Amino acid sequence: MIKFQNVTKTFRRTRVLDGIDLEIGLGERVALIGSNGAGKTTLIRCLLGEYNHAGLVTIEGRSPRAERAAVLGMIGFVPQLPPPLKMPVGQLIDFAASLCNSDPQRIFDLARRLGLDVDGVVSRQFVKLSGGMKQKLLIAIALGRDAKVLVLDEPAANLDPEARKIFFELLAERAATATMLISSHRIDEVSSLVNRVIELDMGKVVLDDRVADDVSLSGRLDCRIAVKRPEPAFAKAMADWNFTDRGDGIEWTGEVAGPDRLRFMGMTSRYVALISAISLKEVDAKVGAGDTASAAAAALPGTAA
Amino acid sequence: MKQLWLTAKLDIVESLRARWFQIYTLVFGGIVALLFLFGLTESRVLGFIGLSRLLVTYIQLTMAILPIFVLITTVRSVAGDREAGVFEYLLSLPVSLSAWFWGKILGRYVVIFTPVFAAMLGAVLWALVVGIEVPWGMFGYYTALLAVMAACFLGLGMLISAVARGTDVAQGAAFFVWLTLLLFLDLILLGVMIQGKVAPELAVTIALANPLQVFRTAALALFDPQLIVLGPSAYVILDLFGITGFKIFALVYPAVLGLAAATLGYHLFRRGDLP
């Protein structure tokens, strides 16, 4: 599907990519991780045919540089930083859909699913949307066509928990038909989304590991948390995750997307002294081994599960 | 072709919402409004009165403003878009590089030429309303001259944008190009000629390679066909081209120069890193 053969990229005297050799097959979900300056963005730009480089990059045997229109028609891309486009949202959708020969309505529908009131912002300038709204729209544009390769650069960074949950579902719907390359600074942000991890450092692949694929992208976890006393900061965090208060801010229940469990537990760890009980239980039939009754209970140290 | 039109439309939409375009439109609309306001159509200078007088003044002012405006806004927005990640995102969509580059030029051309022409057209329409005689021949030639001038400096601007990566460098280069053309209008050539280091024919040839000088001379030729104000240089120009020949040269040469610069810019853009 995607091949990097001895890809080297040099900016003046700095070698940013140093002989990258990779093969990524159909259906693989790859986390591209590494610190700042490791070469992630450069590798993505080589894949998108935006950079000249030594070596060969091909997607289904075709060069994204030489056969731009044909190859890029297969790629959906979400950048880390949204471009400061002044055009209205509706025009951006029409522009992208026209170039990609897709139906704008499909993009509108996906944006709505992600929780973006697209009808309300259709005539607003893209640059004036909030960070989360821009991210939702760019995701909708990338997924709103039959892309065989999805290149996502920190795609969920600006999304709220509910939008992330739907975003994971959207990725799950495409898992069998698309190859995904998800770039991030941190493995914990994307670990549950992927089945392969590639780490870059100083322009070289330092880790290429296939990981257990037990977490379903569309899986969900029922969660119950009890705290020792009501705390406004904790209540706000729970509200951000769309949790329901079951009694005076003491007990909270809600749903967490499967791939978001690590992020959720990271959030709860900030209140470890406050929490008296916590449980997470898989509820989706597609989760893990497919046993709906299987319960994965997680307890924080010193608390009752 | 669809990709080219889409890119041109995109650039027009982006430019219409940019602050530089609002200022640009205001400047040229404002010039015409002020010329009317100060009663320029009523004054007589060198035998020119009415709309002819206004058009002569307008084109002189436009020649001073338009080149630097077009150069700076073109390089600022193209290099700025590249730096801000607009290229990274939009060039990840399936658009060919030729459609992108030429579509951008087409869109930008519409945006920079329309206000200049609309201001002049507005003056003509107003003249028709208040019953001032319209010199249609002059209006037609000035329109062609402005169209070519916009194309010439747009082509140079796109070439600079393709060569210079950052906004600051691109802006500095654009200013340097404009300043060089400006200095070669008179100052440097006069200095060199006074020192007697070059033949007058060579000095005139160098001057005519300068698009700013070509526009200025062509504009002069409309109300001073013998180019008397140019002094002895007029003999060289008229011997070489004749009056009609020079008028044609003034349209063809800058257009070819702009197109050549844009084509070179396209090849550099296509061969280099895009974002």
Its ipTM equals 0.79
Measure in Å the smallest separation between the Cα of A169 and chain B Cα atoms: 24
Our count of domains for chain A comes to: 2
H/E stretch holding A59 reads strand A54-59
Residue to mutate among A8, A44, A87, A127, with most B CBs inside 10 A, is A87
Q: How confident is the model at residue B132 (pLDDT cuts 50, 70, 90)?
A: confident
Judge: B97–A68 Cβ closer than 8 Å, yes or no.
yes
Q: Do A98 and B6 touch (CB under 8 A)?
A: yes
Please indicate whether, in this complex, the C-beta atoms of B89 and A52 are within 8 angstroms of each other. Answer: no
Q: Which two tokens stand for residue A93?
A: 């959708």
Helix A104-113 with A89-100: angle, nearest 10 deg: 130
Closest by CA position to A115, among listed A152, A165, A80, A155? A165
What is the token pair recorded at B228? 């008397």
Residue after which a domain boundary falls, among A169, A193, A210: A210
Return the percent helix, strand and coil in chain B, to nearest 5: 85, 0, 15
C-alpha distance from A272 to closest chain B C-alpha (Å): 40
Q: Which domain range does residue A87 map to?
A: 2-210
With 60 as the cut, is the pLDDT of residue B134 above it?
yes
Phi, psi (deg, nearest 5) at residue A176: -80, -20
- φ and ψ at residue A184, rounded to 5 degrees: -160, 155
Cβ-defined contact of B88 to A50 (cutoff 8 Å) = yes
User: Is the CB of residue B200 less than 8 Å from the CB of residue B236?
Assistant: yes
Among candidate residues A190, A210, A230, the one where a domain is terminated: A210
Judge if A257 and A205 occupy the same domain.
no
Tell me which residue of A130, A136, A133, A171 sits closest to A151, measured CA to CA: A171
Backbone angles phi, psi at A129, to 5 degrees: -75, 160
Check whether residue A50 and residue A29 sit in a common domain.
Answer: yes
* Shared domain check, A237 and A155: no
What's the confidence (pLDDT) of residue A109?
A: 94
* Residue B192 pLDDT greater than 60, yes or no: yes
Q: Are the beta carbons of A85 and A127 closer than 8 angstroms?
A: yes
B159: left (phi over 0), alpha (psi -120 to 50) or beta: alpha
> And the tokens for B32?
């015409």
Q: What is the pLDDT of residue A89?
A: 95
Place of tokens 């909030």: A130
**How many angstroms separate the CA atoms of B41 and A24, rounded?**
72
| Domain match, A162 and A268 both | no
Report pLDDT for B40.
60
Alpha carbons within 13 A on the beta-carbon side of A173: 12
Beta partners for A257? A220
What letter represents residue B106's amino acid? L
Interchain contact, B86 vs A75, CB within 8 Å: no
**B231 pLDDT exceeds 90?**
no
Same domain? For A139 and A224 the reply is: no
Cβ–Cβ < 8 Å for A79, A158: no
Q: Tell whether A130 and A15 lie within a shared domain.
A: yes
Chain B partners within 8 Å of A95 (Cβ): 6, 9-10
* SS3 (DSSP) at B207: helix
Domain that holds residue B213: 2-271
Dig out the tokens for B147 from the structure. Answer: 């169209």
Question: What's the alpha-carbon Rg for chain A, to the nearest Å?
Answer: 21
Domain final position from A210, A230, A264: A210
Query: Is the pLDDT at B102 greater than 90, yes or no?
Result: yes
CB-based contact B67:B153 (threshold 8 Å): yes
CA distance B189 to B203: 6
Which tokens in the block code for residue B149?
């001038």
Q: Return the half-sphere exposure (C-beta side, CA atoms, 13 A cut-off) of residue B159.
A: 17
Report pLDDT digits (tens) over B35-85: 777 766 566 555 556 677 778 888 888 888 899 999 999 998 888 888 888
- 10-residue stretch averages of pLDDT, chain A, 305 residues long: 94 91 91 89 94 94 91 92 91 93 93 92 93 93 92 84 85 87 80 85 90 71 91 91 88 87 85 90 56 38 39
| Interface residue ranges in chain B relative to chain A, Cβ cutoff 8 Å | 2-3, 6, 9-10, 13-14, 17-18, 84-97, 271-275
User: Beta A54-59 vs A14-24: how paired, if at all?
Assistant: unpaired
If one counts every other C-beta atom within 10 angstroms of the C-beta of residue A183, the result is 25
What pLDDT does residue A288 have? 39
Same domain assignment for residues A66 and A167 = yes
**Vertex A205 angle, CA A202 and A207, to 5°:** 120
Are A153 and A11 in a shared domain? yes
Nearest-Cα distance to chain B for A81, in Å, is 7
The vertex-A130 CA angle with A124 and A135, nearest 5°, equals: 100
Question: Which residue in B81, B75, B147, B157 sits closest to B115, CA to CA?
Answer: B147
Contact assessment for residue A82 and residue A134, using Cβ atoms and an 8 Å cutoff: yes
Average pLDDT, chain B: 86
Distance from A159 to chain B by nearest Cα, in Å?
19
What CATH number is attached to the domain comprising A304? 3.30.70
Say if residue A281 is in the same domain as residue A159. no
> How far lies B187's CA from each of B56, B194, B235, in Å?
23, 11, 20
Q: Which of A45, A70, A84 sits opposite B275 (nearest CB)?
A: A45
Query: Which of A99, A123, A152 to mutate against chain B (most B CBs within 10 Å)?
Result: A99
Work out the number of other CB atoms within 10 angstroms of the CB of residue A117.
10
| Beta-carbon contacts of residue B149 (< 8 Å; ≥ 6 apart) | B62, B63, B66, B67, B211, B215, B254
Give the pLDDT score at A59: 94
Total number of domains constituting chain B: 1
Q: Which of B3, B17, B97 sits opposite A99 (nearest CB)?
A: B3
Both A21 and A121 in one domain: the answer is: yes
Closest chain B C-alpha to A222 CA, distance in angstroms: 38
Distance CA A292, CA A36 (A): 41
**Across B74-99, average pLDDT:** 90
Q: Do A83 and B2 touch (CB under 8 A)?
A: no
Tokens of B163: 């060569």
CA distance B41 to B43: 6
pLDDT(B195) > 60: yes
Cβ contact (<8 Å) for A85 and B86?
Answer: yes
The position carrying tokens 């967490």 is A256
Residue B182, exposed/middle/buried by CB under 10 A (0-12, 13-18, 19+)?
Answer: middle
